[in-house]
A and B are shown apart, each in its own frame.
Chain A
Amino acid sequence: MQFAQLSDLVESAPIAASDIDRRALLGNWINSNPDASSIARVKVSESSGQLRVQVFAVGPDGLFDWGTTNAAVFAAGPASKVGAGFACTFNFEFGEARLQGMIMKGLLVLAQFHLFKDDRVDYFLREYFAMTHELFGQ
């Protein structure tokens, strides 16, 4: 088994992408910052075993639906079946937005890499999202 760091030298039964438990990732995630001017909501779903991510960004006249794209699932370690993150890319005519999400203490920490084809400066943004739920509802 090849490895580039000792932590990748693991002995476990083979783990297929479909074996990874995605439950911690699935749901509707809202930006913890009500004053955000970037991504407002992220919907993570699953269809035929494929993780799907839909993004709603803040626009001048309401939310702007980026659409839905496939995402790669990442576990918590090379021998883990616990889903801990995802990565996906949204392509636009003017550039692309690469997203890397990871779950930390129940929050979705979303790293965003906005790369432009025009003369705008590429930028990085990291924001926190909470999963909407009804547990504390009256």
Chain B
Amino acid sequence: MTSTDKLLGRWINTNHETRGIAECTVAQDGDGISVKIVGVGEDGLIQWPVAKAIPLANVEEEAGQRTSALLATFDLGFMRAETHIRINKGVFVLVLFVTFLDDSGRANYVNREFFYRHA
């Protein structure tokens, strides 16, 4: 069995000057887990579509026992972000593999952001 309890909640980007993801909320959604991301926009925040997450037992040594990681894919039409989420020493780590599906000429890229738990 996996425990996702440590991942649940609202998480704020540790970098207050980020131009990427401002915050992330992980919630119990029936029998599953949902992930909500809020991006930084030009004139305010941008709500991403909510994604269902696949919970996985996190067996990496530094994670210790009874923790989970999440795998979630966000489909925004013009781009897809395949993400994984884990907790490392209390820090919420979000890794994004972004693929652009439009013809904007942007490079697909990987990025990592860090979040702290909102009190």
Contacts and interface: CB of A to CB of B under 8 A. Distances in A.
Contacts, number: 134
Nearest to B39: A5
A74 B110 contact: yes
Contact of A78 (B46, B68, B109): B109
Interface string B55-71: 11111100000001101
Contacts of B104: 1-2, 14
Interface string A69-110: 000111111111100110100000000001010100000000
A135 to B, nearest CB: 26
Contacts of B81: 4
B106 A78 contact: yes
Contacts of A26: none
B57 A124 contact: yes
Nearest to B84: A111
Given A4-B46, A76-B110, A80-B107, A124 B40 contact: no
B75 to A, nearest CB: 11
How large, as a class, is the contact surface on chain A?
35 or more
Contact of B79 (A8, A73, A76, A111): A8
B31 interface: no
Contact of A124 (B69, B76, B99): B69
A38 B70 CA distance: 20
Interface of A: 1-10, 12-17, 19-20, 72-81, 84-85, 87, 98, 100, 102, 111, 113-115, 121-127
Interface of B: 1-2, 18-21, 39-42, 46, 48, 54-60, 68-69, 71, 76-79, 81-82, 84, 86, 95, 97-100, 102, 104-112
12 contacts: A3-B41, A4-B76, A6-B40, A7-B20, A14-B105, A17-B107, A72-B99, A73-B108, A81-B107, A121-B57, A125-B58, A125-B59
